[in-house]
Structure 1
Amino acid sequence: MLSDTEMMIRLLSAAALGSLIGFERERLLWAAGIRTHMLVCVGSCLVMLVSQYGFTNILTHDHVVLDPSRIAAQVVSGIGFLGAGAILVRGEIVKGLTTAASIWTVAAIGLAVGGGLYLAAGASTVIILLILAGMKPLEEAYRSRNQTCMLKVGVENNALTPELLREALTLRPSQVKRFLVESRAPEGIDELSILLSKVSSQDIATYPDKLQELDGVRSVTVVKRVKDRPAGMT
């Protein structure tokens, strides 16, 4: 049977490790912050302790065999309800996937501490913090270079073609996703809707000036700018 001192050390260690990851989420003002991560980690640790040592009296009976991993396994599947609560859908954008993943990994850390795997739990905490905080600047830098924008361009009839657009903005053919003439005004002005992808925020800011230098271009407006979210990043 585990001593009371060792049991307290494991529970407090789980609370401390969970708070470190929770602080990183709290810093970004996500709903699941320090307290949520601490509770998940301590709760998982407690479940692991119960799974390992909560049935020692029953094991003294004849023909009784228990699998201590069965209760712990329910934490891995059951923590999904908290993850679902952390995910928000705003229009076409899904937010909170990273926080949901951090809650799930904190549960695993709690199970590891409950099982006495201090090195694995501590190393996992450091790795998770590096992923959450250290990878953020790299992720933002990648996204700033991979955005999608919509341009509304007013031009004289047939004054702007896809080839001329790519040449003026130094674009690859694959970056022009849509080149559509939405309307033709009686005075001979076409309203173009142009969708570009994989362009940087710095380039988007220069597009209106570059296009207005072309003959026949009357107006250019950036009406939509959406960050492309690469798979696996949130």
Structure 2
Amino acid sequence: MIGNFEILGRLLLAALLGSAVGFERERLVWAAGMRTHMLVCVGSCLIVIVSAFGFSDILGTPNVSLDPSRMAAQVVSGIGFLGAGTIMLRGEMVKGLTTAAGLWAVAAIGLAAGTGLYVAAIATTAIVLLILAGMKPLEARYRERAQTRTLTITARRGTITIEVLRGLSGSYASRLLQFVAQPTAEDGIDTIDVSYVHIPEKSFDEIVAALRARDGVTSVS
């Protein structure tokens, strides 16, 4: 059986590590913020301490066996209901998966702190923070390049053809996904819908500027 100061130290460490991960979520104004992550981490820590040491007084009793891993396993599966509460469907976008995974990781950190695996708990916290904060700019940059960008061009008929557009697109001509020209009510004027995929915002803006500067183009939106 560990002493009271050791128990207190493990709980405080779990609270500290949980707050570090929770702060990263808090600054992005997610539903599960600092307090939620701290509670999950401290609760997991206490559960595994109770599982490992709370029943020591009945050890040795006939027909009684103790498996401390059982309560830890229930934490791993039971934390799912909290994670599910952070996941939201907005249109065709699923939000909150990262926060749910963070809660699951924080529960594991609490278990590690509760069993005295301090190095593992601290190292996991550092890795989780690196994933949440450090990888986000790289992920955002990739998504920016991967998203589809669309244009609606109003121009004099024959002014903008697919060959002209490919010429204006330069090295991104292969990223031209769609080109649809339709006549408008105004004689000799066409509306052209254009889509690009995997094109950086800066290059897309340059194409838009080149189109707006071209003779015969009425509008680009």
- Structure 1 residue 42 and structure 2 residue 45: aligned? no
Deviations along 1:20-39, whole A, 9 cap, x unmatched?
A: 11111112222211101100
How far residue 67 of structure 1 moved from its aligned partner, in angstroms, is 2.2
Kept in 1: contact 2:26–2:33 (CA 8 A): yes
Kept in 1: contact 2:14–2:45 (CA 8 A): yes
Q: Which amino acid aligns with 1:97?
A: L
TM-score for the superposition, normalised by structure 2: 0.89
How far residue 175 of structure 1 moved from its aligned partner, in angstroms, is 1.6
* Counterpart in the other structure of 1:190: 190
Query: Following the alignment from structure 1 to structure 2, what is the Cα–Cα distance between the partners of residues 71 and 139?
Result: 36
* Counterpart in the other structure of 2:109: 109
Kept in 2: contact 1:18–1:106 (CA 8 A): yes
Query: Following the alignment from structure 2 to structure 1, what is the Cα–Cα distance between the partners of residues 188 and 59?
Result: 89
Aligned to 1:179, the other structure's residue is in SS state strand
Kept in 1: contact 2:86–2:97 (CA 8 A): yes
Deviations along 1:131-187, whole A, 9 cap, x unmatched?
A: 222223333333444432110011233432333212212254542222223554350
Gaps of 5+ in 2: none
Aligned to 1:28, the other structure's residue is in SS state coil
Aligned residues with identical type, % of pairs: 55
Query: Following the alignment from structure 2 to structure 1, what is the Cα–Cα distance between the partners of residues 163 and 58?
Result: 79
Kept in 2: contact 1:76–1:108 (CA 8 A): yes
Within-5 A mapping of 1:81-92: 81-92=81-92
Query: Following the alignment from structure 1 to structure 2, what is the Cα–Cα distance between the partners of residues 36 and 174?
Result: 47
Deviations along 1:12-62, whole A, 9 cap, x unmatched?
A: 110011111111111222221110110000011111112212232343222
Number of residues of Structure 1 aligned to a counterpart in Structure 2:
221
Within-5 A mapping of 1:31-180: 31-172=31-172, 174-180=174-180
Query: Following the alignment from structure 2 to structure 1, what is the Cα–Cα distance between the partners of residues 180 and 89?
Result: 30
Kept in 2: contact 1:182–1:192 (CA 8 A): yes
Aligned to 1:209, the other structure's residue is in SS state helix
Gaps of 5+ in 1: 222-234
Query: Following the alignment from structure 1 to structure 2, what is the Cα–Cα distance between the partners of residues 206 and 172?
Result: 11
Flag the structure with higher helix content: 2
